[in-house]
Amino acid sequence: MPGLAGRISTLTKAKISHMLDHAEDPAETLDYAYERQLEDLQNVKKGIEHVVTAKKRLQLQEEELRQQSDKLDGQAREAMSAGREDLARAALERKQLIAQETGSLDQQVSELESEQEKLTAAEQQLQAKVEQFRSKKEVIKAQYSAAEAQVHISEAATGVGDEMADVGAAMQRAIDKTDDMQARASAVEELQAAGTFEDLTALGPAQDDVDRQLDQLGAKSAVDDELAKLKAQVGSGTPQSGLPAGEPAAEPQSPHQESES
């Protein structure tokens, strides 16, 4: 299923790219790129050093061959002066071989000098680019730091930053918990008023809601009976404090009336 595999690959790359965008620090990225350029510049300088070292080594060999050539030339002259043409010929043949080797070394030295000039020019160009990148890098880092500070200030002033979002979320959670606790307290009061909860401290068997309602009806009936009796007594003139019905209570006499009697 190439279509599904392609979509999965694209989605994975998009997710990774999104994560890298959030994790990437522009300042660190620029510093790393600058360090890599410095490494490249250092490698070019090492290359120039190796070329110059090889050239110097060839030049030393070339100098030694020239000294040998001069020595053989002198030996050939001495051999001719001594009438030894064969020795003079042998010295000149060796001199000719050395001359060929010297020519080959000279060509190699010329090639190395040309390579050295190219590397030196490249090193100078790279050096200039590195310096330009370093200046540009510092400018970009300063601009990014200023923009970042401005964003933090704006977020703090408007309350849209991550910290304020966390504070707002915490406040909302506190409000939700408070509302939940108030709702639970109201529910408990309602259930308690309805007699749903049992009194764990009460003695005897537990009563359900029906038992409580029946007890309340019984208590109300007893109160109604007592009230009816009281009304009947008051309406029929029932004696109070042990007096016969219909006989009014004696009025208290004054001291003057007691003396006349």
Q: How far is CA 219 from the centre of its chain?
A: 70
For 105, the domain range is 16-159
How many angstroms separate the CA atoms of 175 and 171, rounded?
A: 6
DSSP secondary structure letter of residue 243? P
151 within some domain: yes
What is the pLDDT at residue 51? 92
Highest mean pLDDT among 8-17, 56-65, 203-212: 56-65
pLDDT tens-place string over residues 10-24: 767 676 665 555 556
131 within some domain: yes
pLDDT tens-place string over residues 80-125: 888 888 888 898 889 899 988 888 888 999 999 999 999 999 899 9
Greater confidence, 5 or 160?
A: 5
192 within some domain: no
Greater confidence, 155 or 208?
A: 155
37 within some domain: yes
152 within some domain: yes
pLDDT tens-place string over residues 115-141: 999 999 989 999 999 999 888 888 888
DSSP string of 45-98, one letter each residue = HHHHHHHHHHHHHHHHHHHHHHHHHHHHHHHHHHHHHTT-HHHHHHHHHHHHHH
What is the pLDDT at residue 162? 58
196 within some domain: no
How many angstroms separate the CA atoms of 233 and 240, rounded?
A: 10
Quick one: what percent of the chain has pLDDT higher than 90? 11
101 within some domain: yes
What is the pLDDT at residue 169? 75
69 within some domain: yes
How many angstroms separate the CA atoms of 206 and 60, rounded?
A: 117
Cα angle 138, 136, 130 (rounded to 5 degrees) comes to 105
Highest mean pLDDT among 45-54, 137-146, 158-167, 196-205: 45-54
- Structurally, the chain folds into a number of domains equal to 1
CA distances (Å), 48 to each of 113, 194, 211, in order? 10, 98, 107
**Would you say residue 67 has pLDDT above 80?**
yes
Whats the size of the chain, residue-wise? 261
DSSP secondary structure letter of residue 161? S
